[in-house]
Structure 1
């Protein structure tokens, strides 16, 4: 099993945790850019969350 396969399997098994990490990464990127790209960052985080496991499970 390749590293990529293992990463995909992990993301599928731990979707909620992966979504939370993606949200934190987006928040940090937003903070570091002084919210200049908020809508693009939010859209990127949403798309990434949809593509891991069952989809966006993060509920702020």
Structure 2
């Protein structure tokens, strides 16, 4: 049972809408957090996976941007 399973219909829609609105309002903070985590991961792996970490960070930023572009989608 997932944590959203206890919510029904409109409750889930409201939670998703709220998350999208918050993501749109805090896009710079989200990008900064992604960069910080990527830097920590790169440091923890001694740079062995820099390219993969950078690719993953870019994909996360793209996903956040999609939420920002259309918060009601």
Runs of 4+ that moved beyond 3 A: none
Q: Which has the larger radius of gyration?
A: 2
Say whether residues 1:41 and 2:50 are aligned partners. no
Report the count of equivalent residues: 53
The runs of 5 or more residues in structure 1 that have no matched partner are 55-60
Which has the larger share of helix? 2
TM-score, normalised via structure 2 length: 0.63
Whether 1:13 and 2:22 are equivalent positions in the alignment is no
- Can you give the 5+ residue segments of structure 2 that lack an aligned partner in the other structure? 1-13
